[in-house]
A and B are shown apart, each in its own frame.
Chain A
């Protein structure tokens, strides 16, 4: 069997969803770790330095291209599967089993994904576009000029509606991950009584903790809260 045929089979299509999904999960982890700097009292400089590294390092930039490609593939394939799956039942049930047999979020991956996509468009416009195409003020640390992405965050998160939008975006992400994390492993065939429970627990932990840390960022910046860093630096 050649790989094109595999990718066109129903399992192959899901394989694409699983692999791109896991790749995006790794990205979330890195993104969350770097940005968590802003929660701390020494956040401004550490975060700006980290963002500078992420924006200039050649390897990271190459990964960024891969990230957009993976994201696009995940979105397009996701919609294709959703349409195909919906079309597989032309005559609909009058009464639905609903929550009796499956969780609402496992049945709503396309909807949750769409909400995340809408959030992403706004999010990229607010941060990614100005940091790549100009529009950020500059700040100097030790005679070196840096983009002041932190100030941009401060400014964007001074609007209450943005804070609410970001928190809602994190809820969508959390539910999407709650199903997606373990689903990716199931699709890859990595399910065994020996480690099935572990995958589920790690999945639930990831799906709650990572979106929670993300949600704390706009909230902290809006209220001006910070965790005393005690001189400790998360990164760089």
Chain B
């Protein structure tokens, strides 16, 4: 594709802290290359804002290669932008045309309070993981993981679920701010493997309990999460989560 530059207008959500009420500010961003990533455009804009003595726009990012899950922007209403199976850092400016106006907002959910501008606090996810998203391993010599036989399709499904990077786009995309896709990926990932069996029941009950405490909404199966997930986690995992929860909650020993 031919390299070219374009002039864009950004409408960006600015918010000083979680208590402040935010609002949109409009920035002209001229001379953006089609080869740049979406975050590089923000770098260009921020350098200019700093040079002008203005407050740069705070946004989260780390790996910039689609694996860490830090970048989080809702672009024209779409978490991680319009591309399928892509994080913001992997979205490139060739998607846009000269003269476009792009609206950029943070993930919006009570459970993800805005720290500043486009940065949100996703520690609710960490607390859900702490509640049960782990396996216990005995001390002593490490067991060779490869020595444990695992059914091929279970291994594949667990691997697909393990691709979740905990970015929170599922919550951002859901009209109910539900965290079920994230939770279902984490539960599926561990429950499908032999190592995940001992804590199987307790895990799902504790994690759901924590999710409910964090103030996420209830899933109504609109499947917007699956459509927006950069790792294309399937909603079949949510059905598995429901199954696991109901059998653990109603069928356990106590």
Chain A positions within 8 Å of B, measured between CB atoms, are 1, 3, 5-6, 9-15, 81, 84-85, 87-98, 100-103, 106-107, 109, 179, 182-183, 186-193, 196
> Across chains A and B, which 10 residue pairs bring their CB atoms closest together, nearest first?
A189-B243, A191-B239, A88-B217, A95-B77, A85-B176, A101-B227, A85-B217, A189-B242, A88-B177, A102-B222
- Residue B118 CB within 8 A of the other chain: no
A106 contacts B222, CB within 8 Å?
Answer: yes
A107 contacts B175, CB within 8 Å?
Answer: yes
Cβ–Cβ < 8 Å partners of A85 in chain B = 175-178, 217-218, 220
A89 contacts B78, CB within 8 Å?
Answer: no
B236 contacts A193, CB within 8 Å?
Answer: yes
State the total of A-B contacts with C-beta under 8 angstroms. Answer: 144
Q: Which of B61-83 contact A (CB under 8 A)?
A: 74, 76-78, 82
Bound Cα distance from A200 to B33, whole angstroms: 45
Minimum distance in angstroms from B46 CB to a CB of chain A: 21
Bound Cα distance from A87 to B76, whole angstroms: 23
Residue of A96, A101, A189 most packed against chain B (CB within 10 A)? A101
B176 contacts A186, CB within 8 Å?
Answer: no
A179 contacts B77, CB within 8 Å?
Answer: no
- Residue B108 CB within 8 A of the other chain: yes
If the complex has contacts A11-B242, A93-B74, A189-B242, are A101 and B218 also in contact, measured as CB distance less than 8 A? Answer: no
- Residue B47 CB within 8 A of the other chain: no
Cβ–Cβ < 8 Å partners of B130 in chain A = none
Residue among B77, B177, B227, B236 making CB contact with A96, cutoff 8 Å: B77
- Residue B32 CB within 8 A of the other chain: no
12 additional A-B pairs beyond A9-B208, A179-B222, beta carbons within 8 Å, are: A1-B254, A10-B211, A85-B217, A88-B216, A93-B108, A94-B103, A97-B77, A101-B78, A107-B222, A186-B221, A187-B242, A188-B243
Residue among B219, B223, B238 making CB contact with A102, cutoff 8 Å: B223
Cβ–Cβ < 8 Å partners of A6 in chain B = 246, 249-250
Chain B positions within 8 Å of A, measured between CB atoms, are 11, 13, 22, 24, 74, 76-78, 82, 103, 105, 108-111, 114, 173, 175-178, 205, 208-209, 211-212, 215-224, 227-228, 235-236, 238-246, 248-250, 252, 254
A92 contacts B108, CB within 8 Å?
Answer: yes
Bound Cα distance from A54 to B170, whole angstroms: 47
Residue among B109, B205, B228, B242 making CB contact with A101, cutoff 8 Å: B228
Residue among B205, B209, B220, B252 making CB contact with A106, cutoff 8 Å: B220
Bound Cα distance from A193 to B240, whole angstroms: 12
A102 contacts B217, CB within 8 Å?
Answer: no
Cβ–Cβ < 8 Å partners of B212 in chain A = 9-10
Minimum distance in angstroms from B210 CB to a CB of chain A: 11
Closest B-chain residue to A109, C-beta based?
B220
A101 contacts B173, CB within 8 Å?
Answer: yes
B78 contacts A100, CB within 8 Å?
Answer: yes
Cβ–Cβ < 8 Å partners of A81 in chain B = 218, 220
B246 contacts A189, CB within 8 Å?
Answer: yes
Bound Cα distance from A90 to B11, whole angstroms: 20
Bound Cα distance from A156 to B20, whole angstroms: 58
Cβ–Cβ < 8 Å partners of B215 in chain A = 88
Cβ–Cβ < 8 Å partners of B249 in chain A = 1, 5-6, 9, 12
B224 contacts A90, CB within 8 Å?
Answer: no
Minimum distance in angstroms from B16 CB to a CB of chain A: 14
Minimum distance in angstroms from B139 CB to a CB of chain A: 30
Residue of A1, A13, A196 most packed against chain B (CB within 10 A)? A1
Bound Cα distance from A91 to B235, whole angstroms: 26
Closest A-chain residue to B223, C-beta based?
A102
If the complex has contacts A100-B78, A189-B246, A190-B239, are A84 and B220 also in contact, measured as CB distance less than 8 A? Answer: no
Residue among A10, A11, A102, A109 making CB contact with B246, cutoff 8 Å: A11
